[in-house]
Amino acid sequence: MTDIIWAAIFVLVAPVIGGLIAGIDRKITAHMQGRVGPSVFQPFYDVGKLFEKESAVVDESQVFYAICYVIFMMFTGALFFGGGDLLLVIFALTLSQVFLVLGAYAANSPYSHVGAERELLQIMAYEPMVILTVVGLYAATRSFNVWEIASSAVPVVLIIPGIFLGFLYTLTIKLRKSPFDLSTSHHAHQEIVKGVTTEYSGPSLALIEITHWYETILLLGFLFLFFGWYPLLGVIAVIMLYLLEILIDNTNARVRWQFAVKSSWLIAVIVGVANLAALYFLGGGVA
């Protein structure tokens, strides 16, 4: 019953917290660029305006894919915060991203298709490290259950520091921050055409924005697992690391997709596989 309650809390509260984080992100970014910036509630105003607009899409199937995108992201987060299996969580997360790609391909637009192809490349870039992260968390705690990992007395980040650093690297991709905001960008200075969301507008675009808020909370929850043995430290670490992501976003230009894929795989091999190999030879982790 507790699992259902936590899942329901995620579905209801995550978009509120995610929207506030997006607003704070904009505010900090503005100050870094010497601007005052919008209100921290601006993301909510923007989404509200999108819901008021007429739905105009190139292909009606795009609306279906947008709805599937948000539903599967909600399911993924509910599964995570409800204490589900971490393997199932990452499979559901990948499936939700596939619907975003299908929606971009549904439109007969070269910009939308380029965005979809870049989104697929990003999935191909970060997926190996995400899978290694799940394997690493299991090696450290002997469990795939989210609640068991979060409540473990084992200092996970100290046992799998390589996995942690590798996940941080891919987190920049997942949060769509520079230098890896290849398929779309939240900042106007990066590009005029919005890539994977080019042909979305009105309510369907609002759903995609809300889905990004859900995803942000899910990823921060994922990051917390490394510090679950000391919850207060975990909260502080999540805040500091997100601020680091904002700093990286504002001090780096976009890289080419070739570099994104090669560097992600290289990081996965160097820090991910090496960390797992070290655990194996030192006794296979901590029970």
pLDDT tens digits, residue range 160-195?
999 999 999 999 999 988 888 877 766 655 554 667
Residues 159, 263, 118, 198: is their CA dihedral positive or negative? Answer: positive
* pLDDT tens per residue across span 251-262: 888 888 899 899
Q: Which band of pLDDT confidence, cut at 50, 70 and 90, is reported for residue 279?
A: confident
- Of residues 194 and 136, more confidence is placed in 136
pLDDT at residue 76, rounded to an integer: 97
Predicted confidence at residue 287, as pLDDT, reads 42
At 78 the pLDDT is 96
Is the bond preceding residue 179 a cis peptide, omega within 30 degrees? yes
Residue 29 has pLDDT above 60, yes or no: yes
pLDDT of 262 reads: 93
pLDDT of residue 198: 82
The model's confidence at residue 59, banded by pLDDT at 50, 70 and 90, is confident
pLDDT at 1: 64
For residue 82, what pLDDT is reported? 94
pLDDT in the model for residue 101: 93
pLDDT of residue 126: 92
* Collapsed DSSP state (helix, strand, coil) of residue 189: coil
Categorize the per-residue pLDDT at 235 as very low, low, confident or very high, splitting at 50, 70 and 90: very high
pLDDT at residue 140 in the model: 92
Three-state SS string across 220-250, please? HHHHHHHHCCCHHHHHHHHHHHHHHHHHHHH
Indicate if the pLDDT at residue 27 is higher than 60. Answer: yes
Q: How large is the average pLDDT for residues 268-276?
A: 90
Is residue 56 within 8 Å of 73, Cβ to Cβ? Answer: no
Provide the pLDDT confidence category of residue 244 given band limits of 50, 70 and 90: very high
Q: How confident is the model at residue 56 (pLDDT cuts 50, 70, 90)?
A: confident
Cβ within 8 Å of residue 113, ≥6 positions away: 104, 105, 107
Nearest to 107 by CA among 141, 170, 58: 58
Average pLDDT over all residues of the chain? 89
Kindly report the three-state secondary structure assignment for every residue of 74-121.
HHHHHHHHCCCEHHHHHHHHHHHHHHHHHHHHHCCCHHHHHHHHHHHH
pLDDT in tens, 69-122: 999 999 999 999 999 999 999 999 999 999 999 998 988 888 888 889 989 999
Q: Which has more pLDDT, 174 or 56? A: 174
- Cα 142 to its chain centre, rounded Å, is 25
pLDDT number for residue 283: 66
